[in-house]
Structure 1
Amino acid sequence: MISPVLAPVEVVRPPAVDGKGRFRALAEVTVGADETVLPGHYPGFPIFPGVCVIECVRLGALQAPPPEAGPLALVSVDTARFLSPVFPGDRLRLELTWSGGPGAWTCGGEVATHRAVAARVRLRFDGGGEA
């Protein structure tokens, strides 16, 4: 799969179980001015496209899966709510929360910049064993 996002996603905190039995992880990515999607998305006032914000969550999820998950494949984008814009130079903080179990996983991602929460996304993955 080819990603429209050039910037590397960095896992800051690997997945660990929280008090509710979910796995939580933290990843970050900096939106560079060299992202190929920027020139055509509001020329003269570039905004990082929402689909690329979703892709950042997907990339973060694949780099910070639950420990017992095997290879994961994206099945669906269950929800995506965009709350504030993302601009070139922004550092995105990806708070990832995993639920489910072997065979069927859901990853909720809250994406924030230094200004505000930019998006809330929920992705569904298949893989990692029998459901």
Structure 2
Amino acid sequence: MTGATRDRVSPVAAEVRVQARTDEGLTAAARADIRGSEPVFAGHYPDFPIFPGVCVLECVQRAATDGDAAPAPSQLAAVESARFAGAVYPGDTLHLTLKWRRTEAGLRCDAAVSTDRGKAATIRLRYEPAAGAR
């Protein structure tokens, strides 16, 4: 594990940058440049590096929570769905679009992830209010 983000340890070294927030924080755009030096490429897969889906999910989680992108303090409660539609390779830039909805249980974040080649993933995360934030 290499990339430390606040009090977390992550296998992803890429910086995830939230570029814009609109609709009172209920939508956000972010990007992450996936370099060939990402540690996960060493073993995934030799001679044919592919950025693992769980690392794409980590980028979405970071975009949703880092830099105050979330519309309210919250913690991840569930990965409700993750569908991977296209491979992510060294040198790709991930473009992330996040849309938040308030639910009875807290917040739901729907994310669309793409590269310059097209759709890479759709991910739905559910968040609960952070401890002490109710």
Q: Distance in 2 between matches of 1:101 and 1:25?
A: 18
Amino acid at match of 2:33: T
Shift of 1:102: 8.6
Equivalent in 12, 18, 25 of residue 5 of structure 1: 12
- Residues 102-129 of structure 1, C-alpha deviation per residue, up to 9 Å, x if partnerless? 9611111100000011000001111154
Any unmatched runs of 5+ in structure 2? 1-7
- Alpha-carbon RMSD across the aligned residues, in angstroms, is 1.8
Deviations along 1:48-68, one digit per CA (max 9) or x if unpaired, are 0000000000000002111xx
Normalising by the residue count of structure 1, what TM-score does the alignment of the two structures yield?
A: 0.87
Runs of 4+ in structure 1 deviating by more than 4 angstroms, as ranges, are none
Q: How many aligned positions are there? A: 123
Which protein has the bigger helix share?
Answer: 2
Aligned to 2:78, the other structure's residue is in SS state: strand
1:17 alignment partner in structure 2: 23
**1:65: which partner in 2?**
70
Does the CA contact (< 8 Å) of 1:27 and 1:94 recur in 2? yes
Matches within 5 A, 1:45-56: 45-56=48-59
Alpha-carbon deviation of 1:34?
A: 1.2
Structure-2 residue corresponding to 1:30: 33
Amino acid at match of 2:119: V
Tell me which amino acid in the other structure corresponds to 1:17.
Answer: D
Superposed displacement of residue 101, structure 1? 5.6
For structure 1, the residue ranges without an aligned partner over 5 or more in a row are: none
Give TM-score, length-normalised by structure 2.
Answer: 0.85
Counterpart contact for 1:110–1:119, Cα < 8 Å: yes
- Structure 1 residues 9 and 39 mapped into 2: Cα distance closer, same or farther (>3 Å)? same
Q: Name 1:91's counterpart in structure 2.
A: 93
Percent of aligned pairs with the same residue?
42
Indicate whether 1:43 and 2:49 are aligned: no
The aligned amino acid for 1:124 is R
Partner of 1:82: 84
